[in-house]
Amino acid sequence: MITTRRTVVQGIAALGLAAVSPAFPEAAFAQSPTAADLGVAGPLGDVWLGSADAKCTIIEYASMTCSHCAHFHATTWPALKSKYIDTGKVRFSLREFPLDPLATAGFMLARCDGADKYYAVTDLLFSKQRDWAFTDKPVDALSKLMKQAGFTQEKFESCLKNQQIYDAVNWVKDRGAEKLGVNSTPTFFINGQVQRGAITIEELDKILAPLVGG
């Protein structure tokens, strides 16, 4: 059974999170944002993977409850990481663009230990998305899953009541929508050029080859 927005909101509200529905621009920007605009990190900073000297930079805006984002991270992400990021050809960062309160909660948990467990938690939540995001009791399922990442129940609840992290996650989302024209997930900026949707590794190969030298 797919969880309704009301069920999610009620569950998250019990842990002290406000239920804010996203409001995004109807149309994307006609032009790509400037490098300066893209370079502005959120209050908690970007968490980068790959060499700072890489010829190509990829910034992904995603939602933890987005099935297309989960598909990308299941099918394309492993090859992107091994072929381009781990080899120093691409520098990558995942930015928060939660589409609902439950997605906000997922990102808050990923940020709870700073940068140390960011990708460990986001990878876990994407890979197990159907086990927690689309259940009758998503908060309980999320709590159970986070124990695999070393969270106690006390830490889980404390993190989801952290106003600073909550505000920071939503700052990134709001700026992405207002300044960069992000209105769907996943959205990628590849050396500043926008690509929307769960792009395949074959499609990425064609884009990246001229940028990184084959």
In tens, the pLDDT along 96-141 reads 999 999 999 999 999 999 898 999 999 999 999 999 999 999 999 9
Identify the pLDDT of residue 114. Answer: 87
Identify the pLDDT of residue 116. Answer: 86
Mean pLDDT estimate for the chain: 88
Q: Name the least confident of 28-32, 177-181, 196-200.
A: 28-32
The distance in angstroms from the start CA to the end CA of the chain is 45
Paired strand residues for 173? none
Contacts of 174 (CB under 8 A, 6+ apart): none
Identify the pLDDT of residue 213. Answer: 82
Whole-model pTM above 0.75? yes
Question: pLDDT per residue over 36-91, tens digit each?
Answer: 999 999 999 999 999 999 999 999 999 999 999 999 999 999 999 999 999 999 99
Pick the CATH number of 5-21+33-212 from 3.40.50.2300, 3.40.30.10, 3.40.50.800, 3.50.50.60: 3.40.30.10
CB 38 within 8 A of CB 195: no
Identify the pLDDT of residue 97. Answer: 98
Nearest to 97 by CA among 60, 147, 150: 60
Residue 27 above 60 pLDDT? Answer: no
